[in-house]
Amino acid sequence: MDNEFVSGVTRVAGAAGIAGIGGLQLGTITVATVPVATTATVAAPGVLGWLGVTTTVTTVTAAPVVVPIAGAIAVGAALTTGGIWAFKKLTK
């Protein structure tokens, strides 16, 4: 595998992720979910709620962390380039 091939893949993946090539959209990958706490003030249950008493409710939801596929390809190509460079240096 040449450095030219890897750099070409990196350029194509980067261009596809930023602007799209001929309408090419690679999409995204969900890599993790992060808990997000949302707090709201709501009426208290029962008679106290009728009297206007409020309480605070906290809801924890999972927010996805997404990465563009083109970014993952570009990082893989950069890591491959570094691996090739290190291999060549170590085997001299």
Could you tell me the residue range of the domain that residue 16 belongs to?
3-90
pTM (whole model) above 0.85: no
The domain tally of the chain equals 1
> For 27-39, what is each residue's pLDDT tens digit?
788 888 899 999 9
**H/E element, 42:** strand 28-43
Residue with tokens 């906290």: 58
CB 74 within 8 A of CB 8: no
pLDDT of residue 12: 59
Side chain identity at residue 81, one-letter code: T
* Residue 15 CA from chain centroid, whole number: 18
